[in-house]
Amino acid sequence: MPNRRSILLFGIALFLAAIVPPCTFAQLTPKQRTDALDSFETVWRTVRDRHPDPKLNGLDWQAVHDSTRPLIATAKSLDDVRSTLTEMLGKLSASHYAIIPAELYKNDLFKSAAERADNASSNSSPGITPIVIDGKALVASVDPDSPAARAGVRPGMVLESIAGAKVSPLLEIAGTLKDSDAQRLIQGSVTRKLNGTADEPLQLEVVDASGSPKHIEVKREEPKGKLVTFGNLPEQRVIFESRRLASGVGYIRLNEFLDPVSIMPQFEAALKQFNKAPGIVLDLRGNPGGIGIMAMGIAGFFIEKNGQKLGEMKMRETTLKFVIFPRPETYAGRLAILVDGGSASTSEILSQGLQDLQRARVFGTRTAGAALPSDIIRLPDGDGFQYAQASYTSEKGRVLEGNGVTPDVEVRQTQEALLAGHDLVIETAESWIVQ
């Protein structure tokens, strides 16, 4: 299963590289040097033993060890150690291999991501979903009858300040890095700033449709969706939404591939309701993934032929084939899948797989390109090490990792459309279905 937490941490590592002060360049103490060498050996052995390809794509890993260890032994600072390890991992020419500085684990941004599940009182929301467009943090949507809706917050407004914190520094970093993981991280950071305790009003500085700055005080309350846990992941809020669009097209949105016991019956019930609809819009924008096998289960609602696959995931010991098992009753109408840079892992597997099978048309923007399952371990020197455990290839041989899913129709949301109350991606997909 592609690990949502590891994807987030990978983005955080990139982001904080720009804001965490560098370590001092004092000489390493004897203990630090010992820990650095032990960390190097741990990283090297983990790659040797856990890389999906036992031959490491022909790379002489022992030779890499022998040439790198002396550099670690003579490193002058912790930054030199990390730089050398990063250079060594770069020889693998693969993503999801990263050294995460120990300072990161003390950073408030990291803590807010890792610890928010431990503080249920901070899980209240004003009902705002943000989006970053053209260097601005905008209100993408406002939940109906939410505190934000009642306070007058509208889609398209620019979020200038949240709880007294200016948003612009985060946006400047995103613009500098120009990295999809960093962009997704910024959007997630804005979301976390919006959320908080129910008894603490949220102070917002926004710019409205007329270009005028406004101060808005918003309450927070328990958001919609169900809190679920899975493995070692923090508690997540899973949201399933289904409704009919004005044209009669069915619309389904899923924000995470978790809680199959609850989600799959809801998905089936929605499709029964939409059985006469001219088509279905499946909105996976911002969906970071989750349980991989759910992609096969959902695909089974739309594929009637046995033996079809979404692709396969190769691990060191085995290969997992994403075989689709058709449901007794499948939906035969048009299927449009909506994606963006926040769509990752299981979202990418499902989208690319159904696109390969020519069963769905994909709308939106290129996905995250983060389809690999990975894990993170702590090293003797306190740093973290992220490493991939598998490789994924779609049915037509497309490698999603680092590439993402390319939409059949690229559609980018704009501030002007949001201010006018339009979702260009949904509208474009709806037009294709009913044409």
Give the pLDDT confidence of 378-398 residue by residue, as tens digits.
Answer: 999 999 898 888 888 899 999
**For the chain, how far is it from start to end, CA to CA, in angstroms?**
37
The CA-CA-CA angle for residues 253, 349, 130, to 5°, reads: 40
Report d(CA 304, CA 290) in Å as an integer: 25
Asked if residues 307 and 365 have their Cβ atoms less than 8 Å apart, the reply is no
Tell how far CA 275 is from the center of its chain: 31
Element at 165 (helix H, strand E): strand 165-166
User: pLDDT-based confidence at 24, cuts 50/70/90?
Assistant: very low
CA angle (19, 78, 388) in 5-degree steps: 75
**Helical (H) or strand (E) element with 323:** strand 319-323
Show the DSSP H helices in 196-325 as ranges: 260-273, 293-299
Q: Which two tokens stand for residue 247?
A: 């044209």
Burial 409-419 (b: 16+ CB within 10 A, else e): eebebebebbb
Q: Give every CB contact of residue 163 below 8 A, 6+ residues apart in sequence.
A: 193, 196, 202, 203
Helix axes 4-16, 180-194, angle to 10 degrees: 100
Prediction pTM value: 0.77
- In the chain, list all ranges with CATH 3.90.226.10: 226-369+404-430
Percent of the chain with pLDDT over 70: 85
The reported pLDDT for the residue numbered 110 is: 45
How many Cβ atoms are within 10 Å of 65's Cβ, its own excluded?
Answer: 16
As annotated, the residues of the chain forming the CATH 3.30.750 domain(s) are 21-100
Q: Which residues of the chain does CATH 2.30.42.10 include? A: 109-218
Q: Higher confidence at residue 162 or residue 200?
A: 162
Mean pLDDT of 52-56: 88
For the chain, the average pLDDT equals 85
Distance from C-alpha of 100 to C-alpha of 33, rounded to nearest angstrom? 18
User: If you average pLDDT over residues 19-41, what whole number do you get?
Assistant: 78
Cβ atoms of residues 240 and 267 within 8 Å = yes
Overall CATH class of domain 109-218:
mainly beta
Average pLDDT over residues 20-39: 78
What does the pLDDT look like over 251-281, one tens digit per residue? 999 999 999 999 999 999 999 999 999 999 9
What is the predicted pLDDT for the residue at 53?
86
- Tell me the per-residue pLDDT of 114-160, one tens digit each, with 9 for 90 and over: 444 344 445 788 999 998 888 889 999 999 889 999 999 999 999 99
Domain spanning 226-369+404-430 has what CATH number?
3.90.226.10
CB-based contact 219:201 (threshold 8 Å): yes
Q: Quick one: average pLDDT of 315-339?
A: 93
Q: Which band of pLDDT confidence, cut at 50, 70 and 90, is reported for residue 350?
A: very high
User: Are 349 and 295 contacting, i.e. CB atoms less than 8 angstroms apart?
Assistant: yes
Spatial distance between the Cα atoms of 274 and 252, rounded to a whole number of angstroms: 10
DSSP3 helix / strand / coil % (the chain, rounded to 5):
35, 25, 40
**Is 343 within 8 Å of 425 (Cβ atoms)?**
no
For residue 345, give every residue at least 6 positions away whose Cβ sits within 8 Å of its Cβ, in sequence order, or none. Answer: 1, 2, 3, 4, 7, 288, 289, 290, 292, 368, 370, 371, 373
Question: Cα Rg for the chain, rounded, in angstroms?
Answer: 23
**Which tokens belong to 97?**
């291999």
What 3 state SS string does 29-94 have? CHHHHHHHHHHHHHHHHHHHHHCCCCCHHHCCHHHHHHHHHHHHHCCCCHHHHHHHHHHHHHCCCC
Q: Averaging pLDDT over each range in 223-232, 287-296, 333-342, which range is the top one? A: 333-342
For residues 162-174, one letter each, b for 16 or more C-beta atoms within 10 angstroms of the residue's C-beta and e for the rest, the string is beeeebeebbebb
Specify the CATH number of the domain 21-100: 3.30.750
